[in-house]
Structure 1
Amino acid sequence: MTLPPQLAELVDDFSAVGPKDRLQMLLELSRELPDLPERFADRADSMEQVHECQSPLFLAVEVEEGGERPVHLFFSAPPEAPTTRGFASIMVTGLDGEPAQAVLDVPDDFYTDLGLGEAVSPLRLRGISAMLARIKNQVRAATA
């Protein structure tokens, strides 16, 4: 499996520790989710909701013009939703700034290699899967 370098590093970090530590890493990442830029203050109108997430999560994807078309990701999730925020932070850390094609090439089930199936419920894992699917859909639309 070929992953962008930052995402591969996260997968390695998660898979190197036990389930309790994975959950702790996820919670730490949840605190690192960047704030939204002002242009997304009206998130309901300008961001897509990921309904599969158990907590309200909104995302926006921007793809730059020209060259490798870097992708930029923006998420909004409430502070009381640390698992959802942690998943979003994995996406930002691992994919933000990557070329569009690299984002599209991420395997749909990459998250299984994080080993979070032992730490969170399958319902929660559906959320990270849905995030990636929506990111890819928005990248495809922007590069079509």
Structure 2
Amino acid sequence: MTTFPLEPTAAAAQDTIREEFAFFGDWSERYQYLIDLGRKLPPMDEALKTEEHRLHGCQSMVWIAVSGDAAKLDFTAASDSAIVSGLVYLALRVYSGRSADEILATETTYIADIGLAKHLSPTRSNGLAALLAFIKARAADAAAARVTH
């Protein structure tokens, strides 16, 4: 079980992801690594696997919940797909446990850098985009809430 964040900054997390994926020579190895990463996702409380927490835009079932405030947002998520679980793991590795400001300031560059964008099906790409949009939206909500209080 992994607790996020693993690296001190979102940028460092993306650098580590790039280094890890550069180690693998072909995409079958990279897909296997994604599946292995998905197995490291912390288990999500079954009570959170509800329609309210379901991420729409994914072909697979994905649930995501957020806790915390602008100072630190923690995301918990799960998927019924092994590869999607790996994609979720990577997104949480970059963004979970970070401040709203850091999340909003961090462009998601690792996806293109490791060649993921070219190797995902259109439905998985759409789902990943929906996941990242959800994370950014919750960070924007938290940042806005901080300003109004």
TM class by shorter chain equals 0.7 to 0.9
Trace 1:1-144 onto structure 2 (pairs within 5 A): 3-17=10-24, 18-37=26-45, 41-44=47-50, 46-47=52-53, 49-64=54-69, 69-78=71-80, 81-108=81-108, 110-144=110-144
Q: What is the distance in 2 between the residues matched to 1:137 and 1:73?
A: 12
Q: State the Cα RMSD in Å.
A: 2.3
**Alignment correspondent of 2:5:** none
Q: What is the distance in 2 between the residues matched to 1:14 and 1:59?
A: 25
* CA contact 2:66–2:75 (8 Å) conserved in 1: yes
* CA contact 2:14–2:109 (8 Å) conserved in 1: no
Query: What is the TM-score normalised by the length of structure 2?
Result: 0.77
| Structure 2: stretches of 5+ with no match in the other structure | 1-8, 145-149
The DSSP-based 3-state class of the residue aligned with 1:74 is strand
* CA contact 1:52–1:126 (8 Å) conserved in 2: yes
Following TM superposition, the consecutive aligned residue runs of length 4 or more in structure 1 with deviations greater than 3 angstroms are none
- Using the TM superposition, give the Cα deviation of residue 62 of structure 1 relative to its aligned residue in structure 2, in angstroms: 2.1
Query: What is the TM-score normalised by the length of structure 1?
Result: 0.79
The amino acid that maps onto 1:24 is: Q
Identity of aligned residues (%): 25
* CA contact 1:11–1:114 (8 Å) conserved in 2: yes
